[in-house]
A and B are shown apart, each in its own frame.
Chain A
Amino acid sequence: MDGVSELASEPSALSTAIGLPYTDAVVVAGALVLGITSGVLGAFAVLRRRSLVGDAVAHATLPGVCIAFLVAGVKDVPGLLLGAAVAGLVAALLMVGIERAGRIRPDAAIGVVLSGFFAFGVVLLTHLSNSSDADQAGLENYLFGQAAGLLERDVAVMAALAAVALLVVGVLRRALTTTLFDPAFAGAIGLPVRVLETLMTALLVVAVVIGVRVVGAILMVAMLVVPTVTARQLADRFPSVLVLAGLVGAAVGVTGALTATRGQLPTGPVVVLTGFAVAVAALLLAPGRGVLWRARRLAARRRTVRRDAVLAQPDAPVSGLRDRLARAGLRRRGLLAADGTLTAAGQVAAAETAERRALWTAWLEHGPSISLPDAREPDPADLTGSLGPEAVAQLREAVRGQVVSGYASYGTRIHSRPPEGAR
């Protein structure tokens, strides 16, 4: 092992830095490179709703690997990688071409190319195993993660390709962003849309071909999608999503690879499961967007509405568990007395609620006629805060004018009923 580490530059430095055996360090370095690259490039695919292009390209590398082996006659990594990349590129361009022909939708185009190429690969594979060439054994394992057999040279090739991909994205990020979000506009301002799209497809193919070595073909799909899905829950601006996706990809790759080496498990599945857990956590917990977060906000809003309804009509007959719970909550806060009437504090709160409602009614009725510095939409729960005291004074003025003219109670009556869903 010493003899091998002497040849190493980056990975052996890495292995001493993080205190791992040489093979494990190579695997972790590979996962790191893969995570960053697929995170950044996956963003372009996922936001275009082409997440599964990665799947098709990964399957399409099989015939490429077989042909490269047929031509070269040996299992050397750069040659096989080249074959895989060429086949993947052809497949990706065919997909875009079939889509562009008009009738076939993206998902069917991806499916047709995937099955066609994979069937071709399976046929080639049987021919290779019939040809009694002993060296062909294990060629199909190219499809599944063989990270433990990863060599330092593989990582070097991967790092070089990754660097090129990141450099291209860095230099062309404005043009790429424009093409991604608005191809028609990009074409109108003279950007070479087709060239850029082909370039992005090529970069994606690079990422997939890199990943096929580390996590395997089927599992590569997750590495393209997980970072972007996670990053998208945490950020709204594309540059932030891009950077975050790279970071999430790196973190997932390294965490998964380390867990796998510790637990003596295959690298690919562990990396993918780590990524899946991260993505699901982001979907559930992301601030402001996550499923649980939204559920909590919705529950809080429902509670407020029910309490407001009780405050508005404390003597209404008690109906149902939720009404009971709302009343219990008000009692805990000292707004409702034990006999169901409002306490002094409760009366203040009820007056505030009624005032808020009256103000909202006034806004609905007179909103268009008052003068505002800008065209913002108010928050129904906090009109004063969102519109400012100036506008509120104008609204009050408008309502007072209407009282004089004599039909003030109309709107108030309509809107002072408890809102829908407050029962």
Chain B
Amino acid sequence: MSDGLLIVVIAGLVATACGLLGPFLVLRRMALLSDAVSHAVLPGIVAVWLVAQTRAPLPVIIGAAAFAVLCVLGIDALRATGLVASDAAIALVFPALFSLGVLGVTRYAAGIHLDLDSTIYGEIAFVPFDTVWLGGYEVARSGLVLGGVVLLNLVLVGLLWKELKATTFDPQFGATVRLHPRLLSRLLLVASAVTAVAAFDAVGAILVVTLLIVPAATAYLLTDRLVVMVALAIGIGWLGAAAGYAVALPMDSSIAGAMGLVCTACFVLALLLSPRHGLLTRRWRRLRVHPAP
């Protein structure tokens, strides 16, 4: 497998994992939780370094996931007091955790390779150089991890499709028929946290946030059916991965940045030209019905 193809496949795996969860987050108005989570994991990485003196992937992912879950549950607890709105709860929790991480880095880990660049901006271009041997084949480590995450999300969304759908669109109905909306919501949040952690280790925080929000929002502009929305979100994510890589290579630019830009371009196109909800199509339809005098 060539390096280029490998990078696109890794980004595509991230897009699949994010595309499975992103639509639910966007529909539940929790899109920005992914941004919060991807910042809140920093103290986890620092804590793992302080305790175990290691940057090995598995402990780091466990430490980061622990703080991601802490962040999610902290936001949930603040929201449950009824004293702060959920957006303010997000804005209180994640900067505090991030600050804790920055303090930890500057105080105890300044000398080692644990700076913000290496932890927050994981670089997708380095994916091909990080491989493990598995059954006689050399495979990219992040591909292995992300494959597992995709499988996990697929099982979660596949098994709980009906329940997630019902509680997303009508939590009261979900509670009435005993679907435990809060438990499902927490499950979804924890899955998003784990996905974000696994993905940001491979491709960097900004690409994870982008792939969780932008394809889902784009798909939401294009369809009214949830299953189509999930499929579209995954498809747009793959499109962004492939086209972003194709654009970034000749221009010698940041691959993750280019992928994000392609996804955003898809969103802009959908916002303007979506058959039903697009700004231009709506205007055009109006003009056709009521032609300008």
Contacts and interface: CB of A to CB of B under 8 A. Distances in A.
Interface of A: 46, 49-52, 54-55, 98, 101-105, 107-108, 110-112, 114-116, 118-123, 125-127, 130, 144, 218-219, 221-222, 224-226, 228-229, 232-233, 265-266, 268-270, 272-273, 276, 279-280, 283, 289, 291
B214 interface: yes
11 contacts: A52-B35, A52-B90, A108-B29, A112-B213, A115-B260, A120-B257, A221-B91, A221-B95, A226-B92, A266-B106, A283-B78
B83 A291 contact: yes
B91 to A, nearest CB: 4
Interface of B: 26, 29-32, 34-35, 39, 78, 81, 83-85, 87-88, 90-92, 94-96, 98-100, 102-103, 106-107, 116, 121, 206, 209-210, 213-214, 216-217, 220-221, 251-254, 256-261, 263-264, 267, 271, 277, 279
Given A101-B271, A233-B83, A218 B95 contact: yes
Given A218-B39, A222-B95, A289-B83, A123 B102 contact: no
Contacts of B263: 115
A49 B85 contact: yes
Contacts of A121: 257
- Give the 8 A-B CB pairs with smallest separation, nearest first: A119-B260, A269-B99, A116-B264, A122-B257, A222-B95, A111-B213, A115-B210, A123-B257
A52 B87 contact: yes
A41 to B, nearest CB: 14
A268 B95 CA distance: 10
A224 B121 CA distance: 25
Contacts of A101: 271, 277, 279
Contacts of B88: 46, 49, 51, 225, 228-229
A266 B107 CA distance: 9
B103 A266 contact: yes
B95 A276 contact: yes
A49 B32 CA distance: 13
Contacts of A224: 91
A240 to B, nearest CB: 17
Contacts of A273: 96, 99-100, 103
Contacts of B258: 119, 123
